[in-house]
Amino acid sequence: MPLLESLSEIAHASHCTDSTRFHEVAQQAFEDQKSFVRAILDSKLVDEQEFLRGLAGWLEIPWWNEPITTVAAPLREKVPARIALRHHVVPLQLNEDGIWIAIYDPFDLLARQTLPSTLPERIFYVMSTRTQLLQALRQGYGIGAETFEALLEGRTGVDDGSEVKQETNVLDLEDSEASVVKFVNQILREALDQRATDIHVEPMADDLRIRYRIDGVLHEVPVPPNIKVLQSSVISRLKIMAHLDIAERRLPQDGRINLELEGKPIDVRVATIPSVAGESVSLRLLGQERFTFERLGLDAEAQTRIRSLLAMPNGIILLTGPTGCGKSTSLYTFLSSLNTKERRIVTIEDPVEYKLPGVIQIAVKPEIDLTFANGLRSILRGDPNVIMVGEMRDRETAEIAIRGALTGHLVFSTLHTNDAIGGITRLVDMGVEPFLVANSVRAFIAQRLVRVLCARCKKPVEHSPGYLRQIGFPAEHAGKLLGAVGCDHCRHTGYEGRAAIFEICVISQQMQDLITQNRPASVLRQVAIEEGMVPLRPYGWSKAIAGLTTVEEVVRVTASDLEMAEE
């Protein structure tokens, strides 16, 4: 087969990693009458740019060297979303000579037949990478643009979403019927593909904004123009999926959605907030996580200290930090490591974020007086070995937890404080006696999440000595630092994923004495450091020196209130 032989030669020149596998993929695509260019790129056997450049040269199709980032509005009007997104073609420019269209699959004959029937202008084809074209389509047309376009063409007016029917919550995007259900599914699927942890659907005065939180940072999502007309329908669909009252738009509501993506269950927490521009909906995406110490990214010394704490038969271990710093993930990791047939583990949470097999988990329900304090009292009567309290919010809960620790139970909980030592002062400020804190708490662990540098584009970077002195970075390690660059793989952020940094304060005999004496936090902190506690920022420096993150990222997540005020 001459075509296959030519493709093999191009693949070989494109650093093909497995020639035999390449032939199998291409042959299977031919037999199935599918796009073999897409099949080859999906197999990741070749370097995408080199393979497509070679293909363009062989077919004598010009290569577009300029960056393609979006699609201008006049060009979107010329090439509708349903055509651009179905065939992965991007209109680049239009003048008196004709229109330039970027493609990556020159063998898509259907696209070559459809475009001339849609465009009266002369068409000039050029080639570019698939990654660049797909990102330009997403940025230019917006998520779900073809569904939105079809909906508008079939609409007679703007409905309120009350006719949206409850269907299975499987994220099926193969349904050919354009509907609000499919449009919402596309938003959810895109968020999961982008590794988002949160989705925010936010009505504005003249627009509907959708944002994803990825690696702890909010990113605005490109959406089709005029999406405001679907605001009520989209929000009603989400409320129906979460089993909320779609008629109630004046009060906040909370619910859950159980999704399924490619056979994998995904739990979604939903919260609505009434605003002057309409209801805002926030969704927290919770997949089926595997809670292991490897995921936490602890160094050997920190892991040894934490494992020794978990081996204790009783006492309280408190995690501290702001919302979204990974405390829940750490708690679930600790519980998973202790989850054996010999231990009875009971938790009370608000809400239950992840379900742990073999663990009895209770959700707080204030409306029926099932609070942390009342739930904890009942748990202590149920013969537990290990207890987890989602948060110590008040003196009553703290004192019951302390009582449990002093009577032979291992208790885990969280506090909202900036550092480990702040946990001590917070408990005392709640009204807990210092001697009770000293005798019951085994350790305070503060943590933050730093974004991890993209492995594909990170590169060495230089910082001025003055800046490094200002932030307290050890100058002798300045030559080891890497910086964020940005590439197609990481959505041009320079980061992909997150890792935790910790501050572990183990309560020694000396610390117990100082806490009982009600000594100030500065004294407690100094003694803790002398006894081996590594503060958050120096711990973060070790991650930067190892090339895992940047000093800017460490500074961002460890900045004190004073530093933020100065900035």
Cα–Cα distance measured from residue 234 to residue 530, given in angstroms and rounded to the nearest whole number:
56
Helices (H) and strands (E) counted in the chain, each on its own, are 24, 18
Token pair listed for 179: 């509907």
Phi-psi region of 284 (alpha: psi -120 to 50; beta: other; left: phi over 0): beta
| Closest alpha carbon to 147 in 237, 70, 217 | 237
For residue 498, list its beta bridge partners: 451
- Phi first, then psi: what are they for 122, rounded to 5°? -70, 135
Q: Quote the pLDDT of residue 248.
A: 93
Q: Quote the pLDDT of residue 321.
A: 93
H helix or E strand, kind and range, residue 422:
helix 420-430
Contact 208, 234 (CB under 8 A): yes
C-alpha distances in angstroms, 27 versus 36, 38, 300, 497, 531? 8, 13, 49, 36, 65
Q: Quote the pLDDT of residue 436.
A: 96
DSSP letter at 63 equals: B
For residue 265, list its beta bridge partners: 260
Helices (H), 79-174: 81-87, 109-118, 130-141, 145-154
Contact 315, 440 (CB under 8 A): yes
Q: To the nearest whole percent, how much of the chain has pLDDT over 90?
A: 61
Token pair listed for 445: 């662990």
Regions of the chain short of the pLDDT cut 50: 156-168, 173-177, 561-567
Token pair listed for 483: 């910086």
Query: Positive or negative, the Cα torsion across 422, 423, 428, 431?
Result: positive
Cα–Cα distance measured from residue 470 to residue 318, given in angstroms and rounded to the nearest whole number:
31
Q: Quote the pLDDT of residue 178.
A: 54
DSSP characters for 255-286? EEEEEEETTEEEEEEEEEEEETTEEEEEEEEE
Cα–Cα distance measured from residue 107 to residue 30, given in angstroms and rounded to the nearest whole number:
12
Q: Quote the pLDDT of residue 225.
A: 84
| Closest alpha carbon to 350 in 334, 365, 335 | 365
- The string over 255-265, giving b where at least 16 C-beta atoms fall within 10 Å of a residue's C-beta and e elsewhere, is bbbebebeeee
DSSP letter at 450 equals: E
| Torsion from C-alpha of 145, 151, 154, 160, nearest 10 degrees | -150
H helix or E strand, kind and range, residue 445:
strand 441-453
Q: Quote the pLDDT of residue 37.
A: 87
Cα–Cα distance measured from residue 119 to residue 80, given in angstroms and rounded to the nearest whole number:
10
Token pair listed for 464: 């001025």
Q: Quote the pLDDT of residue 63.
A: 95
